[in-house]
């Protein structure tokens, strides 16, 4: 089910879309890096540290897509029972799913932030290029937190009188 984007504050949408754009740029960068690395390997001269860069770029891609996907309603949803439930039960089911999602996202965002601080304290780095892990943990925490914010706005909208999104 697609949720109305106009019900969320413009700032949240802009942040989510900006972070999503960052993810899109990261995907293009990753595709170019993989192509160049494959060509380099074929010619016997691979890119040093390409795997380190790829793994960290994938972290940015994952973190950046959560909230943007939620604002555009492109996340996968299984609604096999939606047509058989009365409207009040559909609304209740949607609210319960959002509350559970919010709890999980809040925990994941918090633990990613804690992981980032611990990675910084312990000096965790990639093997070849010695890239620090902490900024990528923080990016993941930010992406999950932004997604949680989008879910909060969806919950607030559902609780407003006269809401008929689930009908």
> Model confidence over 28-58: pLDDT tens digits?
999 999 999 999 999 999 999 999 999 999 9
Cβ atoms within 10 Å, residue 121: 9
Per the structure, the count of domains in the chain is 1
Q: Mean pLDDT throughout 107-131?
A: 96
Predicted confidence at residue 166, as pLDDT, reads 52
pLDDT at 105 over 80: yes
Is residue 26, in this structure, part of any structural domain at all? yes
Is residue 117 in some structural domain? yes
Residue closest to 64 by CA, chosen among 102, 25, 33, 115: 25
Q: Is residue 18 part of a domain?
A: yes
58 belongs to a structural domain: yes
Q: What was the pLDDT predicted at 165?
A: 57
Q: How confident is the model at residue 164 (pLDDT cuts 50, 70, 90)?
A: low
- Global pTM value: 0.83
Q: Does 86 reside within a domain?
A: yes
- What is residue 2's predicted lDDT score, i.e. its pLDDT? 47
Which range of residues forms the domain containing residue 155? 5-74+81-159
Of the listed ranges 43-57, 60-74, 109-123, the one predicted with least confidence: 60-74
Bin 49: left if φ > 0, else alpha if -120 < ψ < 50, else beta: left
Q: Let me know if residue 166 belongs to a domain.
A: no
Does residue 12 form part of some domain?
yes
- Establish if 167 belongs to a structural domain: no
């Amino acid at each position: 089910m697609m949720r109305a984007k106009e019900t969320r504050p413009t700032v949240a949408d802009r942040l989510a879309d900006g972070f999503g754009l960052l993810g899109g740029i990261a995907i293009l960068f990753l595709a170019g890096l993989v192509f160049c690395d494959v060509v380099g390997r074929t010619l016997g001269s691979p890119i040093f540290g390409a795997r380190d860069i790829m793994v960290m770029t994938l972290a940015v891609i994952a973190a950046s897509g959560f909230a943007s996907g939620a604002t555009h309603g492109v996340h996968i949803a299984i609604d096999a029972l939606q047509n058989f439930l009365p409207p009040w039960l559909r609304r209740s089911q949607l609210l319960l799913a959002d509350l559970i999602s919010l709890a999980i996202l809040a925990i994941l965002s918090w633990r990613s932030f804690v992981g980032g601080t611990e990675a910084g304290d312990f000096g965790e780095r990639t093997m070849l290029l010695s890239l620090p892990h902490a900024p990528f943990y923080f990016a993941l925490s930010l992406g999950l937190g932004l997604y949680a914010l989008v879910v909060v706005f969806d919950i607030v909208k559902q609780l407003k009188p006269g809401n008929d999104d689930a009908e």
